[in-house]
Chains A and B, each alone.
Chain A
Amino acid sequence: MEDMSILIVEDDAGMRETLGDILRDEGYKVETAGRGKEALALAKEKKFPICLVDLRLPDMSGIEVLKGLKGFNPNVSVIIITAFASKETAISALKDGAHYYIEKPLNIKEVLNAIERASDTFRLLADKKRAEEELRTNEEKYRSLVESTEDSVYLVDRNCRYLFMNEKHLSRLCLSKDQYQGRPYSVFHSTEESKRFAEKVTHVFETGTSIQSEYQDNEKRCFLKTLSPVKDPETGRATAVTVVSKDITELKRAEKELIETRDYLNNIINSSVDTITVVNMEGIVRDWNKGAEGIMGYRADEVIGTSNRKFFVDPEDADRIMEHVQREGEIENYRTIVVRKDGKPIHISMSAALLRNEKGVPIGTVRVSRDITREVELEKRVKEERDNLNLIFETMVDGVYMVSKDYEVEFMNKVLRDEFGDHPGDICYEVFHGRKEPCPLCKLEVIEGGTVRWEWYSRRINKIYDLIETPLRNIDGTISKLTIFRDISERKKAEEEIQKLNRKLELRVVDLEEVTRMKTEFLSITSHELRTPLTPMKAQLQMLQDGYMGRINKEQKESIEITLRNLTRLENLIKDILDVSIIEMGVIKMSFESMNLNYVVGEAMKMMESITIEKDIKIIARLAELPVIMGDSERLRQVISNLLNNAIKFSEKSADVVIETMRVGENVQFCVTDYGIGISKENKNKLFKLFSQIDTTISRKQGGTGLGLAIAKGIVQAHNGKIWVESGLGKGSTFCFSIPINSNHIKIEP
């Protein structure tokens, strides 16, 4: 009998002990008390399931004790012992919570029976209580579970009537607790939904198994709905259906994102132009993306499962990469050469990282490689160009240096190093100019993007340099500087010499001009002085000839004619000398006007008529239509007359002389051609110089001063024109001059 303690409350000691002994013998644990207070004190300390209480006690009544005991332990079974049985008392005791009463003298059997029953009752009560407790605890547990869950939970019967609904679901349906009980699903849902739900509920009732389905509500939230049968524990038949509706929106989203992320990564890997490969620790290719296919030319299925060594021009590179990655965990931008499937070598830059399984054990390497063949070639070219440039710089006669944006010398070529010493990293203005701060030109111009050029005299090495300083724009936007040193000391010296010479020459020129002026003046005066005596000579001779002084005979007349003819010749010579003197002085006076060269040619031809008839020369004139030019017609007539006169002079009797005018570009041109003796090459050059009549015998035969062509040249040049001759000995000559149609140098005078 487990812990079935019995408290005996009896004031009669004999009775008390006897009863105690008997019950102990029966196996109960027994404690005794002689007084009510003593009993209550004991009961306070310890719960007695069964108490035997004498109704009459010296200090208090048994009923009072009973109440006290009940107060300590509501489940206590109290058996009242009474010596005088009175129904009223007994009933009152029972009312107050006693379970039994037995009368004195005590029948042992009756006592034991009563105890037996009391203990049963107690046990029963205790069991019931425990069960109730348990039920209540469980219910609490389940309720809190049901209420604390984020899921909607509800219970329906066969007819889809709500039996229970948790707070979550209430809030979803916007209902209060008293609004749903016994009401059908269809009240809160559409017909369509209600129909589907009813089908599912029926299914669960019929099969006794759970079903799951997913659905989406109006707010696009996803739910996983589980319908499970609630079974009668005895019959095993479904009595209701629980519905758990789980919000799986976030789950779905995460799942979708996961899928998307995976697809995205796959996409990246496969759309990468770089090769992404996985090689295991044994060097066997395990993964090979599209980029690798593109760059290497191998398909994934051709290389996966094979060694990666074959790709490297130097197969030991494969080992080096693996070893490095194993040691360091990664390798960055390792440059090597691999061979494509078609045998073409390509430069790649590879970065690789160690791949570990979840336990941290290395299982391979993932490698990303980029085709850098073009970059490598470019680098090579850049290097070559830089080398070439360096070579040029080094072998240049000029000095070259470059500085950083902070004026630090980055490069000095050999010439400068020889002159100034090598100064890598030093400050340019200190090294070259001995300054404490940047030269103003450099600071204001070059660093602002301008090029400056200046001359610099280095006292230290006594040289003059022509400096060209040019800004070099760096990638980061800062500006460095390139300076070229050209040693111009010699040139400067030469220039100074030249200037000295020039000054001397200037003085000489002034002298010469004076000489020329004097010469011309001399000529002018001389011709005047020569002409003055000629004047009365000619006048007197003409008077003689014309008979002013009386009749003259034939001989006298001839004598006078000879004298006059030579007088005329002398006069012409003087006239030409005067012309030349004016041309020599450079003060030839032109009076420009609008004129047509053809008209002037006609005038000149008219003047030549007598000589042409005399020599029976046929003048063939081919005059083209000419634009009007600005010119001095009198002077040009003089030129044309001179050329025409020469042509006639040097022609044989009855020969042709051809005169042509034409427009050549922006010039008008006059040419006269004779078929005479012509001019040798060496003589052609002398032709337009003073007193240059080629053959003195001809000169004597033909007359003329030898000044005509020099004068003609002076006049044509005063028109900004040109005069020349085309001739060969024995082939005749063509003399031409041309004059620009629009000459800026000719002032148009009103």
Chain B
Amino acid sequence: MGCCYSTAMGCCYSFCKEDSGPQSGEVSERTHLLVDPVSNTTNILHVHSDDYVNHYASSVPKKTDEQSALNRILHETAANVIDIGALDSHNLEQHEYMDRSKAYSKRIETVGVKVPDISSCLLTDIPAPERILSTEPLPSADRQLIKDMLDKAVSALGDVKVEHKEDLVVPFLS
């Protein structure tokens, strides 16, 4: 099959060559508008069809080389790409989290590294919030206390006046 094909191609090439050969000087309907790159490479055109078959046969393993090269590129690309969708999402369970936290803090203790405490927060965490959350939101006594205090404070603030005692401007030389 390959043999027939290559022979036909060889004929075709030789035909073209013979055809275009004598007319190379003048312009006709058969003149190539573009310079044929193949006909410029003299090597192939002057090759005999048998030689061409050999040449073609020797180029067959090259084709598999190309295929394997493509495969190699494909594999390399696949190896370099991190497919996030295919990764298993590893969610830490609560006890796992605690275990790790314990392990890490133990390790830090043994090494003796002091982790700097950079959090200077106005509100701090409390160990057992349930006790505080379960208590009454605001005792009525406390509410009354602060309301009374503010009532008095507002009226007391209204009493604050500037008392005129002495002149602000004092003549130095009199």
Chains A and B form a bound pair: no
Give A residues with C-beta under 8 Å from B.
Answer: none
Give B residues with C-beta under 8 Å from A.
Answer: none
